[in-house]
Amino acid sequence: MENVRLIEIPKIVDEQGRGKLSFIEKDIIPFIIERVYYLYDVPSDAYRGGHAHKELHQFLIALSGSFEVVLDDGKSRQRIMLNKPNIGLLIPTGIWREIDNFSSGSVCLVLASMVYDEDDYIRDYEAFKLLKST
């Protein structure tokens, strides 16, 4: 899957045992952040996503707990577990995504390259496959 990748987020460990700090600066992800949102209190048997984007890029981080992201480029599918707050998943345009298997207390942070635009969504999987085959 071209351009889908896990990116390690810098982590600073406090030498006095007071925890860790991670940060995201402009050189960590390859787009300007225009929108930030997060998913939480998602039941373990529910899923989110179920769409692709025409232009939007996203970066997903499991701030707490874990969840799995199913990615589909129209030719192949892959499942990626996110369970560390210093590892993010870059999802470029044209990738179908579904997020499931949320653990109790999980929080999924999403950094997006655009503000919300319903016209950017492809919500029909068959239409997505047709678009990818042309």
Catalytic residues: 51
Where does residue 67 rank: exposed (0-12), middle (13-18), buried (19+ CB within 10 A)?
buried
What distance in Å separates the CA atoms of residue 43 and residue 103, rounded to the nearest whole number? 8
Residues 6+ apart with CB under 8 A from 134: none
Measured CA to CA, the distance from residue 57 to residue 33 in angstroms comes to 9
Yes or no: say if 38 and 109 are a contact pair by the CB < 8 Å rule: yes
Task: Compute the Cα dihedral for 67, 88, 11, 36 and give only its sign.
Answer: negative
Three-class DSSP category at 14: coil
